Structure 1
């Protein structure tokens, strides 16, 4: 199982557990802290960058959704998985990310660049350049 597949499996377990404990009704706000911790733990990238990317995803796709009761949707979870894939230098799921996502990821990497190991920064920057983020 790839790291992204394991991450997706762990996300589904968190969501299922939340629904089971709350009469079958999920609530993103209840699971958000657990999802953010899982996202940060699932990558070797600096925690500050992982948290920034998670917050971008949350604000861009979850909080702006017109159907809050259905969040997180499978499409939005696929985007989060693609963002994790980016952090892990894997190209799995990159087609889920649009140009706006790549540009935002580029901005977040730039913001966190001085605190990153140089090899991590170089690999992230190479991907960002190839995706036209700059």
Structure 2
């Protein structure tokens, strides 16, 4: 149950950061202004996975934000929820997992393998269990 609170707090903090940025900029959004804050927020929330957090954030950014037709409007609500789902996965929670695509799972499998030697063994086992259950391996 504790994870759920963490995940909701992350979503709330992300939304506050986006709202604060719009308020300070005449109601206009711009991903380029908020991206560093969002990245730090994400990494802080899943510090136990170390560099893997950065790799997952970069994947989200490259796959969903930079491919957007309107980057200034990013992250959209869908992409905010997707990032929350990625956070949940890294926290070994199944919240929001329906938002994670097969391509995402495959990429997470690749990233977890790449970072495996730097991960705590219990964290690694938890992530691998999820990845196996999602057919990433």
TM-score of the aligned structures, taking structure 1 as reference length: 0.97
* Aligned match for 1:31, one of 25, 30, 34: 34
2:53 alignment counterpart: 50
How many residue pairs match? The answer is 134
Task: Name the stretch that deviates more: 57-66 or 45-54.
Answer: 45-54
Any conservation in 1 of the 2:56–2:108 contact (CA below 8 Å)?
yes
Q: Runs ≥4 in structure 1, deviation > 2 angstroms?
A: 44-47
CA displacement 1:50-97 (0-9 Å, x = unmatched)? 010000000000001112222110001111000000000000000000
2:113 alignment counterpart: 110
CA distance in 2, matches of 1:117, 1:13: 31
* Aligned match for 2:103, one of 92, 97, 100: 100
Where structure 1 has 5 or more consecutive residues not aligned to the other structure, the ranges are none
CA distance in 1, matches of 2:71, 2:96: 24
1:78 alignment counterpart: 81
Where structure 2 has 5 or more consecutive residues not aligned to the other structure, the ranges are none
Q: Does 1:87 align with 2:95?
A: no
Output the aligned Cα RMSD: 1.0
Q: Does 1:65 align with 2:101?
A: no
